[in-house]
Amino acid sequence: MTWSTRELADLAGTTVNTVRHYHRLGLLDEPGRRYNGYKQYGVQDLVRLLRIRRLADLSMPLARIRRVCAGGESTPEELWAVDAELQMKVERLQRARADIATILRDNAPADAPAGFASVASRLSESDNAIIHIYTQLYDADAMADLRRMVEVDADEGAIGNQINALAPDADEETRRCLAEQLAPTLAQNLIDYPWLKDPSRHLSKSKHVAQNTVIEAVAALYNSAQLDVLFRAGTLAQDSLRAGSAETARTATGDRDSIGAALS
């Protein structure tokens, strides 16, 4: 008994297009044809197709199926490779489910950056966008630190909201005041997370790529007044830390002099 392409596909629980695809890949040999030109498949063709479908159901890539169907010694290795790939896929799916649960729990936007669902609804569009970009530039440890910084900023809220609402033509006094209010937070971040001064070891891309990407992103996502405030606040934070370090050094020197005088 022989079958047409459609009959063969129905028997194997697949489609005519799938059978034709297997022909194109060389997984399934072209059968003989009837007098009218239609293909006629036999039992061996059906068995071959069923074997291919079984391996495909096991998630084996089609590129590997030919070797396995041949019954070579590579079969265990191929199955171990597929199993490893499935394990990674399972882990990705589990992470996705956990992220979805967090997003639903926190009523966050569906596209919230991973790990930021709890604060995503309180972030501006620009802040949300820049965090998405950071996820491609920094490693997991750096992103965890960034999440903690964002959580603190979101809880405090007022300064960030004012900067987010800042118009491009904001006056000088408004910019200065906002920079002065933001500077202590930036200074504290530099103390709590020293790697911010040199993030090289936390980069997942080259330093050149990371720097250029951040510069382009910040320039595109924030207006001129916001950039001015951020730059001023950063400068004030650095100045504050340098002044604090100098004062600490002077105090330590004074203490040493006092101890020396007492001992002399």
Grouping H, G, I as helix, E, B as strand and the rest as coil, residue 58 is coil
- CA atoms within 13 A of residue 226's CA, in its CB half-sphere: 18
Q: How far is residue 18's CA from residue 8's CA, in Å, rounded to a whole number?
A: 11
- On whether the CB atoms of residues 138 and 199 are closer than 8 A, the answer is yes
Is residue 26 one of the residues assigned to a domain? yes
List of residues 6+ apart from 233 with CB closer than 8 A: 178, 179, 180, 182, 183, 186
Task: Give CA–CA dist 8/2, Å, rounded.
Answer: 9
CATH for 21: 1.10.1660.10
Residue 222 to residues 122, 125, 189, Cα–Cα distance (Å)? 17, 10, 21
**What is the rounded distance in angstroms from the CA atom of residue 12 to the CA atom of residue 52?**
10
The structure tokens listed for 113 are: 């950056």
d(CA 22, CA 46): 13
Look at residues 46, 77, 108 and tell me which one is the last residue of a structural domain: 77
What pLDDT was estimated at residue 72?
55
| 32 assigned to some structural domain | yes
Residue 227 domain flag: yes
Q: Which two tokens stand for residue 72?
A: 């070579």
Count structural domains, the chain: 2
The C-alpha atoms of residue 59 and residue 62 are separated, in whole angstroms, by 9
Dihedral angle over CA of 163, 166, 171, 173, nearest 10:
-20
CA angle 30, 34, 35 (to 5 degrees): 135
**Domain span at residue 143?**
116-263
For residues 202 and 101, give the distance between their C-alpha atoms in angstroms, rounded to a whole number: 28
Among left, alpha and beta (phi > 0; psi -120 to 50; other), residue 142 is alpha
Residue-wise pLDDT for 155-182, tens only, equals 666 788 899 899 999 999 999 999 999 9
φ/ψ of residue 204, rounded to 5: -100, -5
Counting as low any pLDDT under 70, the low residues of the chain are 70-74, 154-157, 246-264
Residues 172 and 248 in one domain: yes
Question: In sequence order, what DSSP letters do the residues of 94-113 get, joined into one string?
Answer: HHHHHHHHHHHHTT--TTPP
In a domain, 185, yes or no: yes
Query: Residue 102 falls within a domain, yes or no?
Result: no
Please check whether residue 40 lies inside any domain of the structure: yes
What is the C-alpha separation between 162 and 183, in angstroms, rounded? 14
Does 110 map to a domain? no
198: in domain: yes
Burial state string for 23-36 with b = 16 or more CB within 10 A and e = fewer than 16? eeeebbeebeeeee
Q: Around 177, how many Cα atoms within 13 Å sit in the side-chain half-sphere?
A: 9
